[in-house]
């Protein structure tokens, strides 16, 4: 089955700096890669996603890049703000799996003022 | 759009009793719903996938007789934890996938279950 590795497990940046979280996946059939933000005691919130036919996608301060050959994808947050502090999860899935998501272990991001 | 609700948000029950958790898609029809559990400071672990009108598909190691899933309509799925034990205490989260070719899953706010 699919195995998703996520690094780093914790990340601390100063407000205004950029944060990068990286994930690798094992199944070359995976073709959809979402990123979720989870605040304490809440459910995950979809913040951005990318499909395998696209190399990069951007939404304001958030961007995701995908390298299908290397089987890795990354989340980039620019101009970080304290409210970006949360746990971020990457995931991968493909249609034949019934769209079930395989999650990375998560990255706890702390943005200090 | 794409709002998923869960009820209750928190529940405390005694060992041996059963608890039902509801998951609703409020503004879209969800042909597929997923149930996850999450232990503190850990990732989400898929428990089962349910499709409207058919039996749920459980992940390896998840007892289908203990975690009963019903997906009776395109907007409602329920998870019943039967004969709960303290080790079932966890954060249970559902997600709903929109119909058609879309992959997106939208998550509910989660239910914190504590079994005493």
Chain A residues inside the 8 Å CB shell of B43? 89, 103-106
Disruptive mutation site among B107, B109, B112 for chain A (greatest number of A CBs within 10 Å): B107
Quick one: three-class SS letters along chain A?
Answer: CCCEEEECCEEEEECCCCEEEEEEECCCCCCEEEEEEECCCCCCEEEEEEECCCCEEEECCEEEEEECCCCEEEEEECCCCHHHCEEEEEEEECHHHCCCCEECCCEEEEEEC
Question: Both tokens of residue B39?
Answer: 């232990």
Is the Cβ pair A44, B104 closer than 8 Å?
Answer: no
Q: Least CB-CB distance to A46: which of B32, B46, B104?
A: B104
**Is the minimum CB–CB distance between A30 and chain B shorter than 8 Å?**
no
Residues composing chain B = 116
Q: What is the structure's pLDDT at B87?
A: 95
The per-residue pLDDT for B55 is 87
B48 touches chain A (CB under 8 A): no
Cis peptide before B8 (omega within 30 of 0): yes
Task: Report pLDDT digits (tens) over A22-42.
Answer: 999 999 989 999 999 999 999
Select the residue of A43, A93, A102 nearest B93 (Cβ to Cβ): A43
Give the total residue count for chain A: 113
Pull the structure tokens for residue A49: 């996603």
Query: Is A98 close to B32, i.e. CB distance below 8 A?
Result: yes
Contact between chains at B34 and A36 (C-beta distance less than 8 A): no
Structure confidence at residue A53 (pLDDT): 87
The β-bridge relationship of strands A19-25 and A45-51 is: unpaired
For every one of its 116 residues, what pLDDT tens digit does chain B have, with 9 covering 90 and above? Answer: 689 999 999 999 999 999 999 999 998 888 889 999 999 989 999 999 988 888 899 999 999 999 999 988 889 999 999 999 999 999 999 999 875 556 788 999 999 999 99
- Cβ–Cβ below 8 Å for A105 and B107: no
A36 touches chain B (CB under 8 A): yes
- pLDDT band (50, 70, 90) for residue A1: confident
Any A CB within 8 A of B58 CB: no
Q: At CA B54, angle to CA B89 and CA B77, rounded to 5?
A: 40
């Amino acid at each position: 089955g699919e195995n998703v590795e996520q690094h780093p497990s914790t990340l601390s940046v100063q407000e205004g700096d950029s944060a990068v979280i990286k994930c690798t996946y094992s199944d070359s059939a995976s073709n959809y890669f979402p990123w979720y933000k989870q605040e304490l005691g809440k459910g995950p919130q979809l913040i951005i996603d990318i499909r395998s036919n696209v190399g990069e996608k951007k939404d304001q301060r958030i961007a995701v890049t995908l390298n299908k050959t290397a089987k890795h994808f990354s989340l980039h947050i620019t101009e970080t703000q304290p409210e970006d502090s949360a746990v971020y999860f990457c995931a991968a899935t493909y249609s034949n799996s019934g769209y079930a998501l395989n999650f990375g272990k998560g990255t706890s991001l702390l943005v200090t003022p | 759009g794409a709002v998923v609700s869960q009820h209750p948000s928190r529940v405390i029950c005694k060992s041996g009793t059963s608890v039902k958790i509801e998951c609703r898609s409020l503004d879209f029809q969800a042909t597929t719903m997923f149930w996850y559990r999450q232990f503190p400071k850990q990732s989400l672990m898929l428990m089962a996938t349910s499709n409207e009108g058919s039996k749920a598909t459980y992940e390896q190691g998840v007892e289908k007789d203990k975690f009963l899933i019903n997906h009776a309509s395109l907007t409602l799925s329920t998870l019943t934890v039967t004969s709960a034990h303290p080790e079932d205490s966890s954060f249970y989260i559902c997600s709903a996938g929109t119909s058609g070719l879309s992959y997106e899953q939208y998550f509910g706010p989660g239910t914190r279950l504590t079994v005493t």
